[in-house]
Amino acid sequence: MKPAVWYLSMLIVAFLYFYVLAVQYIRAAEIPHSPRTIAAILPTYGKNHGGLPPPPQKSHRLQNTDQGPSLDFSYHDHESLTNWLRARNAASPELTALYSIGRSVQGRDLWVMVVSSSPYKHVLGVPNVKYVANMHGNEAVGRELMLHLINTLVTEYGRDDYITWLLDNTRIHIMPSMNPDGFEVAKERSCDGGVGRYNAMGFDLNRNFPDYFKQNNARTQPETEFVKDWISKIQFVLSGNIHGGALVASYPFDNTPNSIFKSLSSTKSLSPDDDVFKHLATVYASNNKRMSEGRACKGQEPFKNGITNGADWYPLIGGMQDYNYVWHGCMEITLEISCCKYPPASDLTRYWEENRESLIRFLGEAHRGVRGFVLDEAGNPIEGATMKIKDKEVGFRSTRYGEFWRIVLPGRHILELYADGFDPKEVDFFISEERPTILNVTLTKASKRNQFGSGYPLAPSPIVFTKPIHQSGSLLNNLNKFVNSVFGLGK
């Protein structure tokens, strides 16, 4: 082999190696830690991961002299959005990482920006949170607010105590657009209607996920599959799904176990974690003056305190927030932030001012509740241990490193743990208002292998301990599509 060819081959191999390594870091799939590494951090775990609010005296490690790309209050098409994200990442690689989870029907990247003081590397015990915007392509405000949120988090790191604390203790994943194809055909100043709402195949992406209560017969779309794959690989603790067409924070369940004909009328469908979801919705709404006042959009009823149960507003099949919660234990709520779906760009400054504090404060709620590790008697992490808070029938799982997080309100609780090959266990714990409770649990090998299935199945299944009877959802889906097209409701 000629020397030139050999050197070229080595360069290609080195490039591929570092590319794969970078992707692994971005997706929090780094080389597994040894048990000794996990055991070593347990005595200090929690000391550097503060609760709410941030430590009163913070020594900033970085003097922020950001010189990143400019960002005005205007709408960005896919090309300009891509260029800005790349420029932002290039200007602040110590705080950001940019990756795509896949491509839309028409081949546009579904970009995600990680913002954190550890953007490329998963840090043991640090939770992942996310925002997803522009799921309906014609609901455009959230798409632009995500860019301004990224910019604010980066430029204020080292200057603002709360933001510095947030980035030091959280990995924030921000997807400005889940439906870039729909956005490209939507029209500015279109407050209602369905043009651009659907993906390029004509599907409503917020009716395209598996449903816990009723069978969803809609053909799954590429954008949906990429999101499902994404949240199966990264254990998100908290999530906000950003929409337009109303002014309210909506929480699970979006669907109801009622029969189809009873489902045509709105009725509350409360989740086992209803207290937590009401709290999360209130955190967002209370920091948005117009939302918290319950102001009604034209043709809509007002929402008390700016929050609502999803099904009580109107039921739907195949929503993303219920899927996040039931299948992956992620606390997601839907944030309707503008009465007009695609208002003129001149209104964007006002929408940012109204939502800035809500967007930032909501992320901090990932640090409320209980967190820790699940280990075996030798100190090895147990992956896929299934857990739930006693009397709450929707559970959550431990990560590959044995980590877990759960947002729980103050009070005394019992954690139930199950793992294949281990004895079940119950642990009492107490949650205070000031900071999360650290709870590291050791499971004992079962003398007789228990039959409770654990670990991540090939096809993700609901993390629930009781299952409803599935009913056909075609009629309700078709009715919802008609109503949304005619009346232009959110969600």
The C-alpha atoms of residue 467 and residue 488 are separated, in whole angstroms, by 33
* CB-based contact 125:398 (threshold 8 Å): no
Q: What is the mean pLDDT of the chain?
A: 86
Task: Output the pLDDT for position 459.
Answer: 43
**Does 263 have pLDDT greater than 80?**
no
| CA separation, residue 426 to residues 384, 417, 436 (Å) | 17, 6, 19
Write out the catalytic residue numbers.
Answer: 336
**Does 109 have pLDDT greater than 50?**
yes
Task: Output the pLDDT for position 264.
Answer: 58
* CB-based contact 112:173 (threshold 8 Å): yes
Beta-sheet pairing, 109-115 with 171-175: antiparallel
**Does 395 have pLDDT greater than 50?**
yes
Q: Which helix (H) or strand (E) is 428 found in, with range?
A: strand 425-431
Over range 252-276, report the average pLDDT: 82
pTM (2 d.p.)? 0.86
Burial (CB count within 10 angstroms: exposed 0-12, middle 13-18, buried 19+), residue 257:
middle
For 412-436, how does the pLDDT look when each residue is reduced to its tens digit (9 = 90+)?
999 999 999 999 999 999 999 888 9
pLDDT band per the 50, 70, 90 thresholds, residue 464: confident
Residue from 411, 405, 412 nearest 49 by CA: 405
* Placement of tokens 């009397």 in the chain: 391
**Does 173 have pLDDT greater than 90?**
yes
For 24-74, how does the pLDDT look when each residue is reduced to its tens digit (9 = 90+)?
444 444 333 443 445 554 544 444 444 555 544 344 445 566 778 999 999
DSSP assignments along 175-224, one per residue: ES-S-HHHHHH--TTB-SS-TTTS-TTS--GGG-S--SSEE--SPP-HHH
Task: Output the pLDDT for position 347.
Answer: 98
* Placement of tokens 């971005």 in the chain: 26
Task: Output the pLDDT for position 159.
Answer: 96
Contact partners, residue 383, CB within 8 Å, separation at least 6: 398, 399, 400, 401, 402, 455, 456
Residues of the chain with pLDDT > 70, as a percent, come to: 77
Over range 2-26, report the average pLDDT: 52
